[in-house]
Amino acid sequence: MGTNVAGAAREALGPVGAFLPVSMTSTPSAGLQREAVGRLERAGYRAAWTNEALGGKDALVQVAVLLAATERMVFGTGIANIWAREPQMAHGAAALLAQAYPGRFVLGLGVGYPEQAASTGREFGRPLATMRDYLDRMAAPAQPPAPDAAYPRIIAANGPKMLALAGEIADGAIPAMQPPEFTAQARQVLGPDKLLVAGLRVAAGPDGDPATMAARVREHLAAGADHVTLMLPIGTDYAAGVDQLEQLAPVLAGVT
């Protein structure tokens, strides 16, 4: 972790990325996902993000598949759920991705919800202490050791206390679907050197037209975000969502 890895990620991500459509009821085939990210890369997006709950999808395996299917696109987890894998395993997987695809991976981590912890037989505890402990344990010695490869670690933070923790122990934060005022607050809390990724919901109807969305992206960038990722409503059909992101690309992928 550190300024250099955050700065490199800031440059690699660019100002705008696409959050891949999220469904809790189905998982698109690997072939469909490969095709989708290829289209988004050709459309001009430099980065794509994926989610993870606790179910039939492993975000880090998914990212490995998508990295191999693209040439330059950066992938981030928004977020990898800390209850899905042990800290040392998360670090080992992330470091291997960073070694295999230098500069093309950002690990976003989130503490999730009490029911997710309970589903794995563990106690949720206090969110701040739980997240601190997780990142501390990621750095613990392991046998065999993880690859020696740096990658940025950012924390899902929609409140001031988690933002402060992100500024203290991580490379940045990824708040989701917050107004530009929150982005400005996050930048103030994190300081100038940390990576700040803002998740922006893509509105339906006229409010979701390219010009309006571009204006909203610029508001977050002006407030201090390094990168804005476009988030479709949960449950959006995968193919239709990729079509929508592709249609937004000519305007949004070039926003500065």
How far is it, in rounded angstroms, from Cα 105 to Cα 80? 12
Please state the domain extents for the chain: 3-252
Cis peptide before 79 (omega within 30 of 0): yes
Query: What is the architecture of the domain spanning 3-252?
Result: Alpha-Beta Barrel (3.20)
Output helix, strand, coil percentages for the chain, rounded to the nearest 5. Answer: 50, 15, 40
Mean pLDDT (the chain, rounded) = 95
DSSP conformation class of 147: P
In tens, the pLDDT along 132-190 reads 999 999 999 999 999 999 999 999 999 999 999 999 999 999 999 999 999 999 999 99
If you ran DSSP here, which 8-state letter would residue 203 be given? P
* Number of CB atoms found within 10 A of residue 56's CB: 7
Asked if residue 39 lies in contact with residue 246, where contact means CB atoms within 8 angstroms, the answer is yes
216-254 per-position pLDDT tens digit: 999 999 999 999 999 999 999 999 999 999 999 999 977
Q: Please tell me the predicted confidence (pLDDT) of residue 142.
A: 93
For 163, the enclosing helix (H) or strand (E) is helix 160-169
pLDDT of residue 54: 84
Nearest in space to 223 (alpha carbons), one of 256, 175, 188, 176: 188
Q: pLDDT band for position 256 (50/70/90)? A: confident
pLDDT in tens, 97-111: 999 999 999 999 999
Instruction: Determine what percent of the chain is predicted with pLDDT higher than 70.
Output: 99
Instruction: Output the pTM of the full model.
Output: 0.96
